[in-house]
A and B are shown apart, each in its own frame.
Chain A
Amino acid sequence: MFWNEKIECMPREELRKLQYEKLRALIDNLYANNAFYRKRMDEKGVKPEDIRCLEDISKLPFMYKSDLRDYYPTGLFTVPNTDIVRYHVSSGTTGKPTLVGYTQHDIGYWSEALARSLTSIGITKDDIIQVSYGYGLFTGGLGLHYGAEAVGATVLPSGTGGTERQLELMKDLGVTAIACTPSYLIHMSTIAKKMGVDFRRDTKLRTAILGAEPWTEGMRRHIEEDMGVKAFDIYGTSEQAGPMFTECMERDGIHIPGDIMYVEVIDPETEEVLPAGQRGELVVTMLQKEAFPLVRYRIKDLTYIIDEPCKCGRTSPRIGRITGRSDDMLIIRGINVFPSQVEHTLMQIPEVGDQYMIIVDREGALDHMTVQVELKPEAFSDKMEDMMELKRRIEHEMKKYLNIAVDVDLKEHGTLPRFEGKAKRVIDNRVM
């Protein structure tokens, strides 16, 4: 099923031609009408006419998160304020929040992208979608809301919180799909168990659209086994508009519609563009964005490009699962550690539940990392020896995978914090 088959299945050469035309028009316009972009391009000695093919995009200067902060609030907007129909403010995962403005057209391509994505995972007008992302300044709630309405599905705009009530509504209304953070869905599952609600028996929930924070394949397996749903990864940041790109039914990477966003992956050190398949930092250029254009924006998300055609028939490039954001990287005793690596390791261990916290301290001159791990109730043993063995086994796995010594604290089920929005699983107590 396609939402916009002509674009989604456009032959690659034709798509590249379309991308080039859009890019060139964008650059021509920015260079002529926007002081910021003209200055940056002049500094790099590049003129719009130097962009003769799609690959020439690598001649253009990068945009950085610091630019968004430096020009806060509306310094990078390229339309009069009267053309802005909405603002969102980034959730500020790192540093100061950024303001994003949208024209009517911007809201349109965002909803269009989501309509394509939702259709690709089998959502139709017959579905009832519970949008349990935060509504308001965060892009998740309203974004999914508009996207789901575009395909004609019924939206239950429940937002975050009030989990018991959300579960009641899910049951009573026969909700078939949910969009939220993976951590919120896990929280829901815990509450459901306390309420005696069995997702398979008592609900019609079959699809989960999960994102806004990095999560792993292990977490996907866990959620699917626990709740009997098919879980799909969704990607999209507020700078790009909001969550909008998902995997298709094949679940082999996230489709990036070529007419909406052009993706490159670079080596963060050398800033060289990397070939498909090589992991690096994602760089995005929005091809339809009006209010707040992004050209070669260093989003800092870490991934790789999948260029082979997808079995689903869509010709767009795909990106692999986001394994983290280079800003999330912890440097522990000089070794780079991503929270996603910790999660990946934990999810391989059958006794481990679905909640964990990473705590970093400095003891004297040394960094020290502790991972608090909730155990599944059945993993608890009366024998101290078994428990110590389990603790050592988890520590050993961590050491093997992360290359640093980690202290593991076993915690009983239900004692670590639950998150309704984005999970905050890292506490860094080091004073830099």
Chain B
Amino acid sequence: MTIITQLSIFVKNEPGAFASISGILKECGINLKAFNIAESSGFGVLRAIADNPKEAYATLKDRNIIVKLTDVIAVPMQDQPGGLYEVGKVFGDAGINIEYAYAYAGVKGPAVFFRVDDPASAISALEKEGFRTLSESDL
């Protein structure tokens, strides 16, 4: 199984909140490969792929940051029109619901991180159609 562990960090939705959390990431020596921010009134979630997620999780917890580990999958795709469609079609045909996704311009080519209800069946549906998913060492 090529599950990627993502950090989900609760952040306030107010001026200075991003500076504050990114400052903490800096102090803790946590490097991010990709991230996305979702926001609502009053609060937001910073979803991030870190170099060493388990260690980063423990460090942030010690700093009293509200953080969770979430399973996502990373799917590499063609850097051309239609690349996204090919992957999206596999999910659609297999009836897999995407909760959220964000792009990653990786060193070995572009990929998209997907958060789905059931990562295992998503991976097998992708593999059936000839797609592979990335492991943490591929990032």
A residues touching B (Cβ–Cβ < 8 Å)?
Answer: 194, 372, 377, 380-385, 387-388, 391, 409-415
Contacts and interface: CB of A to CB of B under 8 A. Distances in A.
A380 B12 contact: no
A226 to B, nearest CB: 17
Contact of A194 (B10, B11, B64): B64
Q: Which of A382, A412, A415 has the most CB of B within 10 A?
A: A382
A263 to B, nearest CB: 43
Nearest to A408: B42
17 contacts: A194-B64, A377-B66, A380-B10, A381-B68, A382-B6, A382-B8, A382-B45, A382-B68, A382-B70, A383-B99, A384-B45, A387-B40, A388-B40, A409-B43, A412-B12, A412-B43, A412-B66
Contacts of B42: 372, 409-411
A137 B8 CA distance: 48
A123 B66 CA distance: 39
Nearest to A385: B99
B41 A414 contact: no
A383 B99 CA distance: 8
Given A380-B8, A382-B6, 16 more contacts: A372-B42, A380-B10, A380-B68, A381-B68, A382-B8, A382-B45, A382-B68, A384-B38, A387-B40, A387-B45, A409-B41, A410-B43, A411-B12, A411-B42, A413-B64, A413-B66
Contacts of B64: 194, 413-414
A413 B61 CA distance: 12
Interface residue SS majority, chain A: mixed
Interface string B19-45: 000000000000000000010111101
A382 B115 contact: yes
A355 to B, nearest CB: 14
Nearest to A388: B40
B23 to A, nearest CB: 16
A358 to B, nearest CB: 15
A382 B43 CA distance: 12
Contacts of A385: 99
Nearest to B62: A194
Interface string B38-61: 101111010100000000000000
Nearest to B11: A412
Q: Which of B38, B42, B70, B100 has the most CB of A within 10 A?
A: B42
B37 to A, nearest CB: 11
A384 B42 CA distance: 12
B10 A412 contact: yes
Nearest to A381: B68
A415 B11 CA distance: 11
A410 B100 CA distance: 21
A101 B71 CA distance: 65
Contacts of A384: 38, 40, 45, 100
Task: Give me the 10 closest cross-chain CB pairs, A-B, nearest first.
Answer: A382-B8, A409-B42, A382-B70, A412-B10, A380-B10, A380-B66, A384-B38, A412-B66, A377-B66, A410-B43
A234 to B, nearest CB: 32
Given A380-B66, A411-B12, A415-B12, A387 B115 contact: no
A385 B99 CA distance: 9
A288 B110 CA distance: 83
Contacts of B66: 377, 380, 412-413
A410 B66 CA distance: 13
A405 to B, nearest CB: 15
Contacts of A412: 10-12, 43, 66
A382 B47 contact: yes
A412 B6 CA distance: 19
A384 B70 CA distance: 13
Contacts of B6: 382
A248 to B, nearest CB: 39
Nearest to B72: A382
A388 B43 CA distance: 10
A411 B45 contact: no
A372 B13 CA distance: 13
A385 B45 CA distance: 12
Interface in B89-137: 99-100, 115
A389 to B, nearest CB: 11
A383 B115 CA distance: 10
B66 to A, nearest CB: 5
B12 to A, nearest CB: 7
Contact of B43 (A383, A387, A414): A387
